[in-house]
Structure 1
Amino acid sequence: MAKEVRLRHRRRIKKKEVGAVLDALRDDYGMEGIDPEVPLDAGEADPDRMPVYIVGDDVIGLEIEGKICPALRGLLKWPAAKNWVTVDMGAIRFVTNGADIMAPGITDADPDITPGTPVWVRDERHGKPLAVGVAQESGPELKAGQKGKVIRTVHYIGDPLWHYGHEE
């Protein structure tokens, strides 16, 4: 059983704020098809008080180091086309247990990634999202890297944020 996450200060956000969140997801991640009329809530996820954005019971977005990025459930609803990193099938079990992403497991990366950019990690066979983290190197360096941690994982399948609002 996953540790339960508690959301604090959940509140409905104004249309202007909704527009800013959706624009960030659209511009930075290429996520299309998100209804701008959808009721969007903001809150903080304990224990580290990470800002999150919620639609219904799904956490669809996160704020990492002041930058808005998609959460895994948001990526499943509205696939992204930018800021992705692909890992080989051997890395999946480590990624879904919350490990940071190591260079040898990366098979491809968006060339536009810069260090410090929030990225989403996908598997090479199906292209499904596995984790969200912060790149420590640029896209070409991620792809060419031979050793070391290159993405700090922040959110992954199976973590408390993934389970929020879902009895699985």
Structure 2
Amino acid sequence: MFKKDISPGSKSKVKSSVQRAIRNQLVTTYPLLAPHIDEIIPKKEQLDAMKIPDRVTLYLIGPTPLFYQHMTDALLPHLRLVHRFPTCFPSIRIDRGAIRFVLSGATLMAPGLTSTGGRLPNGDAEEKGAYGEHGRKDGEEKGKEGWYGGRELEKGEPVVVCAEGKEEACAVGILSMGTKEVKEKGKGPVVEEGHYLGDGLWRLVTE
């Protein structure tokens, strides 16, 4: 979606009622953000909306990008926000071999997740924790492998893509296949047209 450079569009101020609705939507979609929501979108700060190509709206406070939204789809976190709060978003992990493809804007395919270096939710819906390479299951000390969720993620849900051997997430997108199906099929597209490190959205100058 953001393979090409993006020129900053005009900013408009988000109405206070809409800003409250966005805060609520974020906490509903990403419950682990709840303790941080006042830091991310302070009640007394002005949230701005910037229109960028492909009918996408980027939400910012000052020059800081927070989330983006394609039309009325789910709010997706900008990678700079993911890097600030790395354990707060449902996450999956690709193996080393898939990294260069994801960072070139290619569709993330199932084999990059089902191989030895990949990670997916374990299927235990009762298990809770903090996500990603920095994450851990509730009640456990952080392990070397992090934690990639208990509950299976469904098609259409937002997801953060981490990478084997890397500290920071490398992409964000919408699942085009649920994680249970990824395990069962082992092939096919999993995340298409995401936001990835080094893409036009990452390079966009918002000051």
- TM range, normalised to the smaller chain? 0.7 to 0.9
The alignment's C-alpha RMSD in Å is 2.4
Quote the sequence identity (%). 31
Residue 135 (structure 1) shift: 0.7
Q: TM-score, normalised by structure 2?
A: 0.69
- What CA distance in whole angstroms lies between the structure 2 residues aligned with 1:3 and 1:57? 21
CA 74–66 in structure 1, closer or farther in 2 if over 3 Å, else same: same
- SS at 2:11's partner residue? strand
Q: TM-score, normalised by structure 1?
A: 0.83
Does the aligned pair in 1 maintain the 2:66–2:81 contact within 8 Å? yes
Number of residue pairs matched? 165
Write 1 or 2 for the structure with the bigger share of strand: 1
2:194 equivalent in structure 1: 154
Alignment of 1:20-99 (within 5 A): 20-29=21-30, 30-31=32-33, 32-34=35-37, 35=39, 36-37=42-43, 38-46=45-53, 48-64=54-70, 66-99=73-106
Amino acid at match of 2:179: G
- The list of structure 1 runs, each at least 4 consecutive aligned residues, that deviate by more than 4 angstroms after superposition, is none
Residue 143 (structure 1) shift: 4.0
Does the aligned pair in 1 maintain the 2:82–2:89 contact within 8 Å? no
- What CA distance in whole angstroms lies between the structure 1 residues aligned with 2:173 and 2:206? 22
- SS at 1:8's partner residue? coil
Does the aligned pair in 2 maintain the 1:58–1:165 contact within 8 Å? no
CA 42–85 in structure 1, closer or farther in 2 if over 3 Å, else same: same
- Residues 18-73 of structure 1: CA distance to partner in whole angstroms, max 9, x if unpaired? 22223333332222423223432112212x12121112223210114521121111
Amino acid at match of 1:56: G
The structure number with the bigger radius of gyration is 2
- SS at 1:109's partner residue? coil
1:131 equivalent in structure 2: 171
Q: Which consecutive residues of structure 1, in runs of 5 or more, have no partner in the other structure? A: none
Amino acid at match of 1:52: L
- What CA distance in whole angstroms lies between the structure 1 residues aligned with 2:50 and 2:62? 13
Residue 76 (structure 1) shift: 1.4
